[in-house]
Amino acid sequence: MSTIVCATDLPASDRIVVDAVDVLYLAFRVAPTERAVSEYVHEHHPAVPTAEVPSILQALVARGALRTFTDRRTSRYLGAAWATPERPVSRRQTVLALVSNAVVAYGRVVRESDVCEYAARCAASIVADARLTPQLIRRDIHGLAHTGDVLIAGTVRGGAGTGSGSNLYLPASMDARRAELMPREPLTWLDYVARVFAAIWGERRARASALGGPPAAITTAEMRAAMLADLAEDGQPIATSVWHRDLADAMTTVNAMLALARSARPVVRAVPGRAAVWLPIGVEDTDEATQGAFAKDSDRVVEATRRAMVRADAPAVTAKEIEMECELDPSLRLSGGTPLARLLADVARERITGAGGQRCERRTRRIVRVGLLGRSAAYVAPYGDRRGELLEAAKFHVQTQGVMQLARERDLPGQYGGVSGARCPMVGLGRIRLVALRAGEQISDASRILDQLGDAGGARARAELQRLVAEATEVQQQARAWERFRRFPACTPNGIDPCGPTLTALELRDLLAPFSPTAAACDSVEKVVPRYARLIRRVKNPAFLRRQSKDPRLAAEFLFDRVDALFYATRQWGGIRAKVNAAIAKEELGALRDVRFVIAAVESEAATERLRAVVALAFLQGAAVVGLLKGRARNDVDPAVRETALWAYGFAGGPGATELLREAARDDEHARVRKAAGVMLGCGDDWWWRC
């Protein structure tokens, strides 16, 4: 057996020469000459005189630290040479010498794989003589670390499971040089990623210190861009040329950051509520630190929602308020082509398509749709430990604002005052009963919210709700007094029906399509509702089930009022007679949609009241209406009522309206009716719209 001479046993200058010989041998795979060693020492260790190198080499050969052989032209030296031993040494001593020489050869602390590589390249003969295998070398290194002959100077990331080992080893005799021998370059892929992250964070911390405030969080996209810009000598990114990683695949960087965050010694952590945004361990994710770090548009929308909640001092906000936040901060402006409304709907979606195309519940909803504020969807961005509290507060806020918004739309004092516009007493009675019913609903809703509000509620909301209760109570008392001090026929209808004829969005589209190319071009509910929601009154759908229902009547939370849609269409595309009659009907009906009171008004003795009732019936329409209108067109004693009833019958969709009009133009006893019927016949097939 041979003895290996440890380089650590040599003087400093001799160790430098041995190191030079080893480095040159590893670089060129051939024994270096005396001249090559001298040039290397002169370039890298100028403190050692070049003239002393030959004598040092001869001394090293004499001590057995180097082996020399001579060819015909020059002498060559083989690093870490083996001398003839005086006595056998143990295998563990041999492995300790291998660790020591590997440290000198690499110029740093070494891993198990480094020792095995050094043994295979520079000590093949002794490895063969000692019958050392990589497995035995690794086992003996662990034993030496247990006895303290070898120290664990540190660890590397991502070494476990790769066969290279995670520990960095240093002989105990070299502990004084530990700081000098610690690696200057990353030894693994994860070490490299951690260093890139540390470099970016260091730059941001320095810049933030100069400007004031905390440094901003780092996104995965920024990490990937930094690694793409970190080029090796060959012009390729170091991540690709050294670590053989495909940076074109975005998941390469994502997986590395996740590994750094989930390791036993994590150096980064994900920012809660963000996708692919990272901070170092121990750094708090304050708003200032995370406000500019957004990996994708969904992150920007979530942050814009949170800021809108803070700015509005409300637990829920609408898309308009979120859009305003996106406009105020350039970092929140959407980079993709998806509209904000659709992006909000996607992020707030309860069910998503999972693996295999199966629909499943979304585990974490960063934005939740909690209802409507006015006629706009309301969203909340719950986060952290307050998630449940924020959700409950948002739902309660939506209920409170819904009651207030509904009260503003109803305008009970205005409705009560507008009853005077009804010239027919029976219609006025229906409107008064409707006002009283709405007042009762407002009292009930506002009182319920007040009870839930408790002592913790805001003073402003409490005062507004109390005002609504007082206002509705006063209007209700006035409405009951109005009805109590008036007399009505015995045939007066009982109660009041608050529901009237309604249209879904697509039914409204079909109603307006013959007159409006814009309406005809609307091929979805998402296009109809924004276009006409502010022009035509909408009412809450009592049959609403859920937005994803296949039945349009069950999927719509609000429906369009058909009577108001007819008013709108008549004002936009109707003839003179149609527009005048629409104005009369709107003044007479107000919000009343219970046809029973209008039918009762048709029996009035006053011709003016009958005429206004006939006009109102034209817009209420329905099976019970057309027969009554046909009878009035033929038999009413007043020619003006008969003339109006002819138009109303056609507008209400009565069958055979044109034949009835021809009959009146030919047989009516009054010239006015005959003339008006002739004029309407001359307006074409849809004469009730054009005349």
pLDDT beyond 70 at 89: no
For 397-446, write each residue's pLDDT tens digit. Answer: 888 888 888 888 889 999 999 888 888 999 999 999 999 999 999 999 99
Position 4 confidence tier, pLDDT thresholds 50, 70, 90: very low
pLDDT at 162: 52
pLDDT beyond 80 at 578: yes
Position 275 confidence tier, pLDDT thresholds 50, 70, 90: low
Position 88 confidence tier, pLDDT thresholds 50, 70, 90: very low
pLDDT at 75: 63
pLDDT beyond 50 at 87: no
pLDDT at 545: 85
Average pLDDT, rounded, for the chain: 84
Position 1 confidence tier, pLDDT thresholds 50, 70, 90: very low
Report, as an integer, the average pLDDT of 225-234: 87
Q: Report the length, in residues, of the chain.
A: 691
Please return the burial class of 474, using the count of CB atoms within 10 Å of its CB with bins 0-12, 13-18 and 19+: middle
The string of DSSP codes covering 97-150 is: HHHHHHHHHHTS-B-HHHHHHHHHHH-HHHHHHTT--HHHHHHHHHHHHHHTSE
Position 73 confidence tier, pLDDT thresholds 50, 70, 90: low
Report, as an integer, the average pLDDT of 574-595: 94
Sheet bearing 268-270, strands edge to edge: 218-219, 277-280, 268-270
CA distance 557 to 324: 26
Report, as an integer, the average pLDDT of 76-84: 49
Contact 218, 226 (CB under 8 A): no
Pick from 115-124, 269-278, 525-534, 561-570: least confident: 269-278
Contact 508, 564 (CB under 8 A): no
Position 328 confidence tier, pLDDT thresholds 50, 70, 90: confident
pLDDT beyond 70 at 148: yes
pLDDT at 513: 93
pLDDT at 26: 58
List, in order, residues 6 or more apart from 155 with CB less than 8 Å away: 166, 167, 168, 265
pLDDT at 661: 92
For 454-481, write each residue's pLDDT tens digit. Answer: 655 567 788 888 999 999 999 999 999 9
Report, as an integer, the average pLDDT of 612-627: 92
Position 86 confidence tier, pLDDT thresholds 50, 70, 90: very low
Report, as an integer, the average pLDDT of 72-98: 59
Contact 59, 18 (CB under 8 A): no
The string of DSSP codes covering 494-541 is: PS------EE-HHHHHHHHTTT-HHHHH--SHHHHHHHHTTTS-EEE-
For 621-643, write each residue's pLDDT tens digit. Answer: 988 899 999 999 999 999 999 99
pLDDT at 644: 95
Highest mean predicted confidence (pLDDT) among 146-160, 233-247, 585-599: 585-599
Q: CA torsion, points 252, 257, 261, 266, in degrees to nearest 10?
A: 110
pLDDT beyond 90 at 271: no
- CA 251, 257, 259: angle at the middle one, nearest 5? 100
For 346-367, write each residue's pLDDT tens digit. Answer: 888 887 776 666 777 777 788 8
The 8-class DSSP code of residue 319 comes to: H
Report, as an integer, the average pLDDT of 71-75: 54
Report, as an integer, the average pLDDT of 291-303: 73
Position 292 confidence tier, pLDDT thresholds 50, 70, 90: low
Position with higher pLDDT, 648 vs 549: 648
One-letter amino acid for residue 116 of the chain? C
Percent of the chain with pLDDT over 70: 88
Report, as an integer, the average pLDDT of 187-200: 90
Pick from 128-132, 165-169, 464-468, 470-474: least confident: 128-132
pLDDT at 82: 36
Q: Which of 597, 382, 408, 623 is closest to 493 using CA atoms?
A: 597
For 15-63, write each residue's pLDDT tens digit. Answer: 788 777 777 765 555 567 788 788 888 887 888 888 888 888 888 887 7
Percent of the chain with pLDDT over 90: 30
Contact 365, 273 (CB under 8 A): no
pLDDT at 28: 54
pLDDT at 74: 55
pTM of the model: 0.58
Residue 558, SS3 per DSSP: strand
pLDDT at 564: 96
pLDDT at 76: 62
